[in-house]
Amino acid sequence: MSERPEVVYTVATQNLEVVEKPLAAWAKLYESGAVRKTVVLIALAAAWELYARWLANPLLVPTFSATVRALFDATASGALPQATIYSVGMLLKGYGAGLAIAALLTALASATRIGADLLETLTAMFNPLPAIALLPLALIWFGLGAGSVIFVLIHSVLWSVALNTFAGFRSVSPTWKMVGQNYGLSRAGYIARILIPGAFPSILTGLKVGWAFAWRTLIAAELVFGVSSGSGGLGWFIFERKNQLLIADVFAGLLTVILFGLAVETLIFNTIENRTVRRWGMQS
Amino acid sequence: MAQAAAAPLLSVEGVTLRYRTKDHLVTATYRVSFNLFPSDRFVVLGPSGCGKSTLLKAIGGYIQPTEGRILLDGAAIAGPGPDRVFVFQEFDQLLPWKTVRENIVFALRAGRKMPREQAQERAMHHIAKVNLTEFASSYPHTLSGGMKQRVAIARAMAMEPQILLMDEPFAALDALTRSKMQEELLQLWEEAKFAILFVTHSIPEAIRVGNRILLMSAHPGQVRAEVNSRGVDDPDASGKLLSARIHELLFGGGAQEGFAHV
């Protein structure tokens, strides 16, 4: 048997078939998450409209178009924007205070072992406790006003943020930690420039979960006792309109709660996510 | 080389390293001594479990020796610092939240307190040296394993440490890339003649990269021998190949064939 001959080919560099081809217009549209989600939303609104028309009982389920009209009217009259602004202001105060306390607890937990035990124990105790359950107690301590709402908001934000941040710090790659030490960074520089970016996926998760808890706690708390010093938030708006049997307005209030939640999720958190963890390849 | 006359850059004197696991006290190295001179490409070679990576971490300042001392330029090592820059085996040693250029600039600004302009300039210079200019603005996760290691080497060289500590930097690369990286490292060394301490478990890599090879035995890690290499697997006076001599020293006589060609 003779040895097989060696073969050398030349590689074509010109006149190749398709290497990269732009997608068709509809394929591009389908690739966009926003477009796909809009289609889903339109389908849901259509189903709602059809069901409400078929039911024909505006006291139980008003139609989508009636809800949109009510939303428009309440916005034009200024009642809904005022309630939203009040709620958002309250939310920011509670969320901010919760984050500050979470940062303090996490710093303590990262610095000392007893601090870590404290954080873990407190979180295990209070995280499963619904914020609303604390409302009666808050009423006794802080009275019928902003104080008690902020108290329950802090409770709903604090534990998820502190727990996620601390877990994130602990899961930062040991290699990055060694790299940071290798540069001779100061303690503060090490935390700010290695630990926090390294733990950012977890921190962001904590912020998102904390925000969602805070928003729903706030609306629920306002439903229970909305009026304080003459103005109420979105929860109170919903409760009040229900008492007046303005069900389309109730739906409009709920829709506002949902829309605001969606807006924060997509405009704020998704933007942060796209510019940080996605871009860095830490999350796909 | 006339090294005996010069003072050693790094001297490791009778260093014993122990660490505690959940239920054991492990002795990683036992009374290890050697000297590394300026411009050395000093390779620490041994089977896994000989404590070579632990030894490198002690030189990096991450662990304190339980016995003996480690002197850099005559002064004992107190902790991690930018005068001994690490290149790790792991591909995740680049900070993912910074681009290639930012990674190097950050190292220069944090480690060497360099003004921004100068740091940018030097970063680009070293990125060009490892042929990654067009990837300067890319994030690390978009690079291949070999490219990440090249960035890590560029970063380490830009910091101009007294010693470059390399912990099996090419071990996770494919064979072709690894061979190319060894070549590039030697070229970079030819230009700057910096001191390298290179840890590996591969005999061919040790022979290719090193000019001086420290052989370590395992459990616990002890020095078996120090041999010279000229970069190729030459036979010595008695006609025995360097790789065969190393293999014999590490694993005892007999089995000449079949050692790991990794």
Interface ipTM:
0.76
Question: Average pLDDT of B128-153?
Answer: 87
Give the closest-approach CA distance of A179 to chain B in angstroms: 7
Answer whether B35's CB lies under 8 Å from B41's CB: no
Q: Which helix (H) or strand (E) holds B249?
A: helix B242-251
pLDDT of amino acid B218:
75
Strand-pairing partners, residue A65, are: none
pLDDT in tens, B63-82: 888 888 888 888 888 888 88
Instruction: Give the closest-approach CA distance of A197 to chain B in angstroms.
Output: 7
B-chain residue closest to A173, CA distance: B92
Distance from the A273 Cα atom to the nearest Cα atom in chain B, whole angstroms = 12
User: Alpha-carbon distance A2 to A279, whole Å?
Assistant: 57
Q: Tens of pLDDT along B154-182?
A: 888 888 888 889 988 888 878 888 888 88
CA A55 vs CA A43, A61, A69, B71: distances in Å: 18, 8, 19, 86
Q: Is A183 within 8 Å of B96 when comparing Cβ atoms?
A: no
pLDDT for residue A100: 94
Q: What is the mean pLDDT of residues A137-149?
A: 84
Interface test with B, best of A171, A175, A176, A179 (most B CBs within 10 A): A179
Q: State residue B261's pLDDT score.
A: 44
A160, A209 contact by CB (below 8 A): yes
Mean pLDDT for the stretch of residues A36-48: 91
pLDDT over threshold 80, residue B208: yes
| Cross-strand pairs, B216 | B223
The model's pLDDT over A228-272, given as tens digits with 9 standing for 90+, comes to: 545 678 888 888 888 888 899 999 999 999 989 888 988 899 899
**What global pTM score does this model have?**
0.76
Phi and psi at residue A2, to the nearest 5° = -90, 155
Check residue A228 and give its pLDDT: 53
Instruction: Find the range with the poorest average confidence among A96-100, A113-117, A205-209, B128-132.
Output: B128-132
> Residue B35 and residue B60: Cα distance in Å, rounded?
15
Q: Which pLDDT belongs to residue A2? A: 67
On the CB side of A217, how many CA atoms lie within 13 Å of its CA?
A: 29
Alpha-carbon distance A91 to A213, whole Å?
11
- The per-residue pLDDT for A68 is 92
Distance CA B164, CA B71 (A): 15
Q: Quickly state the pLDDT bin for A19 (edges 50, 70, 90).
A: low
B55-65 pLDDT tens trace: 888 888 888 88
Spell out which residues of chain B touch residue A200, defining contact as CB-CB under 8 Å: 97
Give the side-chain half-sphere CA count within 13 A for A2: 3
Angstrom distance (rounded) from CA B248 to CA B254: 8
pLDDT of res. A43: 95
B64 contact A CB<8A: no
| B128 — pLDDT class (breaks 50, 70, 90) | confident
Report how many helices (DSSP H) and strands (DSSP E) chain B contains, helices first. 7, 10
Q: According to the model, what pLDDT value does residue A9 have?
A: 76
Q: Is the pLDDT of residue A150 over 80?
A: yes
* Rounded CA separation A101/A122 (Å): 13
pLDDT of residue A21: 72
Predicted local confidence at residue B255, as pLDDT: 45
Question: For the segment A189-228, what is each residue's pLDDT rounded down to a tens digit?
Answer: 888 888 899 999 999 999 999 999 999 888 888 887 655 5
Question: What is the model's pLDDT at position A229?
Answer: 46
Cβ atoms of A146 and A228 within 8 Å: the answer is yes
Record: contact A182-B111, CB cut-off 8 A: yes
* Mean pLDDT, range B8-18, rounded to an integer: 84
Q: Which region among A4-18, A69-83, B6-20, B126-140 has the lowest average model confidence (pLDDT)?
A: A4-18
- Contact of B249 with B257, CB cutoff 8 Å: no
Q: E strand or H helix at B10, and its extent?
A: strand B10-20
A65-107, pLDDT tens digit by residue?
999 999 999 999 988 898 899 889 989 999 999 999 999 999 8
pLDDT score at A204: 92
**Distance to chain B for A281, nearest Cα, Å:** 6
Separation CA B233–CA B218 (nearest Å): 24
Q: Quick one: pLDDT band at residue A118, thresholds 50, 70, 90?
A: very high
- What percent of chain A clears pLDDT 70, i.e. is strictly above it? 95
Q: Are B182 and B205 in contact (CB under 8 A)?
A: yes
B146/B123 Cα distance (integer angstroms): 18
From CA B241, how far away is CA B246, in angstroms rounded? 9
Q: CB of B63 within 8 Å of any CB in chain A?
A: no
Mean pLDDT score of chain B, rounded to an integer? Answer: 82
Which pLDDT does position B146 carry in this prediction? 84
**What is the model's pLDDT at position A49?**
93
On whether any CB of chain A is under 8 Å from the CB of B53, the answer is no
SS3 sequence, B157-217? HHCCCCEEEEECCCCCCCHHHHHHHHHHHHHHHHHHCCEEEEEECCHHHHHHHCCEEEEEE
Contact B106 A193 (CB under 8 A): yes
Task: Measure the CA–CA gap between B165 and B157, rounded to whole angstroms.
Answer: 11
